[in-house]
Amino acid sequence: MNNKELKKGIRKKVISYLKETDKYLAEIELLKTLFNSTEWQNAESIGVTLSMDHEVSTENIIRFALIENKKVYVPNCDYQNKTMDFVRFHSPADLHKDEKGILAVENPTEVNNEVDLLLVPGLGFNTDGYRVGYGGGYYDRFLSSFNGRTVSVILDAQIMDIPIDDFDQPVHQIITEKRTFTGVRR
């Protein structure tokens, strides 16, 4: 089986697991660890996805960042060119579903691709910080030229052996409800 097929299997397995798992208590622990981290404390601008129902929720991360007067930026994908920029988020009233049914800022006015802290989503991760995402390559392309700090907040069950391709980009740190890993990203 090649890496593409292995990653497809991981995606299917993890999405199924996440849909069936009550994440509430784990998310409380994740948030405590994230909000107490040096990366969070030092960040004035945060890049974060607008989570889907089966993912670890980013709603409270966004809320807390806004309460702390951090600037929040969320992904805006150009599906034709397969690129992604981070655009300023002010409130849920700014959101709409894009052409793929993913929440996005409707009329973005400010782009910031050099946020202080980027929270990187993913389905499966290894302890070195490599990840399996949804297969579009948007984050790997973005991370290949991103110089800021990267952290992923996931459930401990999402730590696993994953196949790594040459184009895969690791994160600096992974926070689970049970432990924290420092990745190989420099």
- Binding residue positions for substrate: 50, 55
CB atoms within 10 A of CB 120: 28
Q: Which long-range contacts (CB under 8 A, 24 or more apart) does 165-172 make?
A: 165/3, 167/137, 167/140, 168/130, 168/131, 168/140, 169/139, 169/140, 169/143, 169/144, 170/128, 170/129, 170/130, 170/131, 171/120, 171/125, 171/129, 171/131, 171/143, 172/39, 172/129
Q: What residue numbers does the annotated binding site for ATP cover?
A: 7-11, 131-139
Length of the chain: 186
32 CB-near residues (< 8 Å, 6+ apart): none
Give the Cα separation of 67 and 27 in Å (integer).
19
Which parts are annotated binding residues? 7-11, 50, 55, 131-139
Question: What is the three-class DSSP state of 61?
Answer: helix
Q: Using the 8-state DSSP alphabet, how is residue 106 labeled? A: S
